[in-house]
Structure formats: structure tokens, C-alpha cells
Chain A
């Protein structure tokens, strides 16, 4: 029956209703005339995006001892959804109904009254084995029904923030249709001290700025950290003694090692989508070329061979192509080539200098830094070079990195007169620019994949 509805505009002459009517009334029914029962069919192909008003009442503590945790989880969910720009959490003081029982259906009318479209209810309980359990349900207030199934998550009490991020991701995914990005971390370069003697340490934190940890002591200069898409390993460039080198750092063990053993400097490393290879630039005289190294065997393959500086390589998410920046045409521009090397195709043609290209995990965009006479902009373009859009422009913006769902870009930005850079996020739509809290100045962010 449903096929009838899927077909073209006026094929629905024999609708279900009509079929029933015919059966019921027999041949005596001699309804004629088109349109009498042929249902009207409307195509809605455009919309009007509005952030969704969502009510997030305090999660119910399983016992009095869980009150603080329940409150904290509620706060984090609210902050996450608000920061995404896709939700508008409703001020709790407007709530009419107080949710006291997780197992009953809320009174939808009292939530409709305050214009909530979605409602989250939840409970946080400490288990007898010491673990923390969080449960939640998402309700569609207008339709008066639950969206999806309720979920529950268990973790150790120290990890309570992750519970909140996981719940936020589940809500985000259910409403937007896209995977979330809240249960993620960001590795970045923490900068302290005066401009002349800046100490740069590698640091890692949750995407919302919590749980900052420092990975290096600050006795060497670190740059361009990048997450492995599949393992708890990061790669970065550091100036130790002598030439800058590409390192691997294992987040779980804290061990670090130099990638390969090359004469001259190596820089701009990035993992392949499977995490098995690292692509980077190696200096050769006054030129730089792109090489890929198999991590297990340390076999290295040259991908470009030009008398130019080829740098900032980045794999496409399917691993088939690599985008990179090169000044082979005079000014640095963005090029795309097959992952095994071969002819490269220039995709950026605008005025100015293009650098730091990075391929979206969704595959639909390449983000870049674009430098014109006196501004640095962050922009995106399609992998074929069309559809270039500038998302933000200013005194100094650089180093875009995509959230794992490809919807949000983080970058670092210096304002005129500011003593140091800060991290910001912006949607790929160009809306919703937000500062990311960091303990001090910060640069070179790299977003992790989803942790769960």
C-alpha cells in the first residue's frame, strides 16, 4: 500500500481509503470525478531552521548522596546542548511540572505550555558495586511520545562527566540525525609566559574545556598535534635538540617515540584514517615533499617530488586521496592527489594564500586557512574546489580541525592587541562562534574521534 504513496503526484487515485470504501459499499458506490478522494500531496523541500527549545529538568538522584552528581550531569548536558547552537535549553524556573519519578510519563501539557519541544528526564544512581548508573529518556513533547528507547550507562564515579557527554550525544543524534561530538577530547598546545619566552606544552582536555592534562613539560617547542582516528595515540612535531621531528605519543602509556629516522626536519604529520600510517613533510634542501610511512614496518614512500614546498597533507576519510598545500604554482594553494601519489589537481583558485587544508570526517568539505592582505580567514570548500565559503575572518585565525561529525570546526585565533591565541569553535554553516575555555593561551587544536 505504501508504494502508492511514494509514487508521483497523481498516482494516488486508488488510495487506501478509497479501496476500503469500495469494499464496504460494494459496486453501488459510483463515486466519480477526479480529486474527490485522490489525496492532495504536498512536497516540502525547504525549511526554516530553528534551534529546538528543550527542557532539561534536574536528573533525579537515586539517593540523597547522588544529588550533587545528578546536578552536575544536568548542568553539563544543558551546557553541551546550548553550546551546539541547535538547542535552546529552557530556563528551569519556567518549569511547571517537577519530575520526581523517572518511571512515569510526564504530563506533556505542562511542557507544551512553556513551549518545550523536547524533554529529557533521567536518573543517576550509585550502584552497590560502587559504579555510577545514569539513565535517561528523551520525549517529544508535541507528539506526546518517547523518542527512541531509554538508555542507561554505567561507569566509575570519577567518569561522571563522560556520562553527561554520552547522554548529550544520544540526544543530539536523535534530534539532529547526526552523530554527536560531546564525548570527545581535544589535544592542543598550551601557551604560557611572555611572548619572547613562551612555554609551549602539549595538553589534552575534554571538548568542553574540562579535565586539562599536560603531556609534555614545556622544555621544547611543540606544534601541530594530531589524533589517531583509531587508537589512543597522537602525533606532533617538536623541536628537541637540533631539527624539528615528528613524534608519536601514546596517551595511555605516556611513551613517546620519533617517527622514522630521516635526515633533515620532518613536520606536519597526520594519521591515515585507519591509524596505520602517518603522512608528513620531509625537508630536502630548500624543498619539502610529502611522504607516507607505515607505522608497523616504518616503510616510507615518497608521494610528491617537486622543486616546491609541499606540506600539510591530509587523507580523505575513505583513505583514497590526500589534500595538501603547495607553492608549486607560485603561491601556496590547495591540491588533491591520489593517496598513492600521482598527478595532483589544484582545487583552490581564490586570491590569497591557502594553507592547512583538512578533510572533513564526513568527506563533504575541506577546511583551510586563507591569508589575504591583512586578514586570516577560516573557510571550507568542496573537495572539487567548488563552493568556497569563508566562515570567519580576522586578524589571525588558523589551524582548523573538524569535530568527528564534521559539523563543527575548532581553530585558534589571535585578536588584535591580544597577548596570545585562544581556541574557538564555529559551525560549518558559519554560525555559532564560541570560545573554548582553556587555562591559558592555546593554539593548534586537534579534535579526537568519539571516545565511545
Chain B
């Protein structure tokens, strides 16, 4: 009986000692500072992101077309114009295939408008004829035929301008500005393809590194300023940050300017992924020195 106790005791002690030795020599947990932040991406995230990208090309085609309108394409513009409008609807709805449906809708609008407006300006000209012209074009769309059909007094480009009611969407734009218009629908991503926490954290970290707070503020200054930042797709600033809110304080201007400097100096913010552009193109940054160590 006693020997069993002794054996059992020795066994436990051995295990205990072995544990002491092996556990002590095991690898220490690596330094927290060296951790890489990980965000978990699920299947649905990926498929949603892909969903968004499927739609994106349509959008991008539509915008440049709108800009090229100014090049003399004459009456033919009626078609792209009409196509552009409904396109927004379909895109906003996010599911309907875009290009095909719209073409049915425009016809009535297009035929009616020319019927009224040109009448006032050019009495010699019969509005019916424009309607006919337009109908033909929509069925056939051959570009070469149009010049041939024009009568000498028929100023097609002028009518095209009259027809065109898309003024707000027709500013001449280039480069990144083209894409700004796309924000009415989510251009490059499905609405719920989420900006990952990692990206947000990385952006916050970068701005924090870049921000040299004015020495006049400290953690109990009780001031803040909010800057609205519009980004380009490459992560650079589309325009200087704008103050949208802030506390009334003599420290305010210095605080706001230090925030602007941080953002201007450290652009582009390349940690922001283009596929989430719709969500980070417009960010509000609140500079509040409440955690400054002094």
C-alpha cells in the first residue's frame, strides 16, 4: 500500500518537474508590437466585392461617353443621353442588367422634346422631321448616314444641344473627376463590400504618425476639429481637406492647420484598397488631442 503511494508521489513530482522545465524553456509569446493585424475575409465578402466589380465596367463606359458629347456627334447623342439616364436607376437598383432596357424608354421623351423646342427658334423647320430622323437613327444607328440626311438649314448640333438636358452631368472632366460622378451608384463595389477594419486602422495609424499637434494643445485643451477629406482612387487627396466642424477656441485654427498638414503631407494613403473606394472616397477625420501625452 505504502509503495503505491510512493510510486504515485514520485510520478507526480516527475511530471511536475518536467512541466517546470519544458514550459519554462518554451518559446515566449512574441512581442505584441510585432503582431500583424489580420482581418478575416469570408466567401461572401469576396463574392460581394466581385459583384461590385462586375457592375463597374458599365459605369466607367457610361461616364466617358457623357464627356465626349461635346465632340460633334450631333443627333446621335440622343441615344447615349437617353441611355445614360436610366442607367443610373438600374445601377442603383444594383441588379438589373443595364444597357438593354433603357433604349425602350427614351423614345417618347426624345420625340416630344424636339417637337416643341425647335419650333420656336427655327420656324422653317418641321419638327416632325426631327422626330422621324430620331426614330430612324435609333433603329439603325449608322453614323455615316446622318450627314447625308441633313438639309442645309438643319443645324443638327444646335438641336442636339437643345435636346440635351443633362447639363449637370455633362461637365467636361478628366482623370479622377470622371469617377466622382460614379458615386451615385457604388461604382466599384457592391454596397456592402465592406471597408475592412484593417484598412481603417492602418489609415488611422498613418495619420497619427503624420500629425504633429500644435504645441499649444494638450489632452485637457478640450478642443477638436473635423476635416472632411475627399480622396482620389490612388489614395491621394482630391482637394485640400475642408473644416466641417470644430470647437470655438483660439487654438482652433492652429489645430485645423496641423490636421490639414498631416493629411497633405502623408498622401497618398496607399493602404486604402481601390475595390472599396466607394466607401473611403469621403472620410471625416476628427482631430481631438484628448489622448496626447504631455
Contacts and interface: CB of A to CB of B under 8 A. Distances in A.
Interface string B168-192: 1000000000000001111000011
Given A176-B216, A177-B214, A429 B245 contact: no
B288 A175 contact: no
A44 B288 CA distance: 6
Contacts of A175: 214, 254, 257
Interface string A30-62: 111111110111111111111010000000000
A178 B216 contact: yes
Interface string A9-35: 000100101000100110011111111
A302 interface: no
B264 interface: yes
Contacts of B228: 5, 39
Interface string B205-228: 001111111111100000000101
B218 to A, nearest CB: 9
Interface stretch (B34-42, B65-73, B115-123, B275-283): B275-283
Given A40-B284, A42-B200, A43-B288, A176 B264 contact: no
Nearest to A15: B282
Nearest to B240: A143
B215 A86 contact: yes
B63 interface: no
Contacts of A43: 204, 286, 288
A86 B258 CA distance: 13
A419 B134 CA distance: 102
A142 B207 contact: no
B81 to A, nearest CB: 16
B289 interface: yes
B253 interface: yes
Given A5-B226, A17-B282, A30-B92, A40 B291 contact: no
A21 B280 contact: no
B244 interface: yes
Sorting the interface of chain A by its residue count into under 10, 10 to 19, 20 to 34 or 35 or more gives 35 or more
The secondary structure that dominates the A interface is loop
B186 A25 contact: no
B54 interface: no
A407 interface: yes
Contacts of A142: 260-261, 264-265
Given A6-B245, A35-B194, A178-B215, A42 B88 contact: no
Nearest to A50: B212
Interface string B105-125: 000000000000000000000
A177 B251 contact: yes
Given A6-B226, A28-B89, A48-B211, A40 B279 contact: yes
Given A46-B291, A175-B214, A117 B261 contact: yes
B265 A36 contact: no
A65 B214 CA distance: 38
Nearest to A147: B257
B250 interface: yes
Contacts, number: 155
A41 B283 CA distance: 6
B132 to A, nearest CB: 30
Nearest to B247: A6
A44 B212 contact: no
A174 interface: yes
A113 to B, nearest CB: 14
B273 interface: no
A393 interface: no
A118 to B, nearest CB: 9
Contact of A44 (B211, B215, B261, B280): B211
B49 interface: no
A176 to B, nearest CB: 4
A49 B265 contact: no
Given A2-B244, A143-B257, A176-B216, A48 B209 contact: yes
Contacts of B254: 174-177
Contacts of A41: 283-286
B126 interface: no
B78 interface: no
Nearest to A142: B264
Interface string A156-178: 00000000000000000011111
Interface string A394-420: 000000000000010000000000000
Contact of B191 (A25, A32, A86): A32
A304 B2 CA distance: 81
A303 B195 CA distance: 65
Contact of B92 (A6, A28, A144, A176): A28
Contact of A25 (B184, B280, B286): B184
Contacts of A294: none
A177 B250 contact: yes
29 contacts: A2-B244, A3-B245, A5-B245, A6-B226, A12-B284, A25-B88, A29-B89, A30-B93, A33-B192, A34-B192, A35-B194, A36-B278, A40-B200, A40-B283, A42-B200, A42-B283, A43-B288, A44-B259, A45-B288, A46-B208, A46-B289, A47-B212, A48-B212, A143-B264, A174-B254, A175-B257, A176-B214, A178-B216, A429-B294
Interface of B: 88-89, 92-93, 168, 183-186, 191-192, 194-195, 200, 203-204, 207-217, 226, 228, 240, 244-245, 250-251, 253-255, 257-262, 264-265, 278-280, 282-294
Which 5 A-B pairs rank lowest in CB-CB distance, beginning with the nearest? A177-B216, A177-B254, A178-B216, A33-B191, A177-B251
Given A29-B88, A39-B228, A45-B291, 5 more contacts: A29-B89, A33-B191, A46-B208, A49-B215, A177-B255
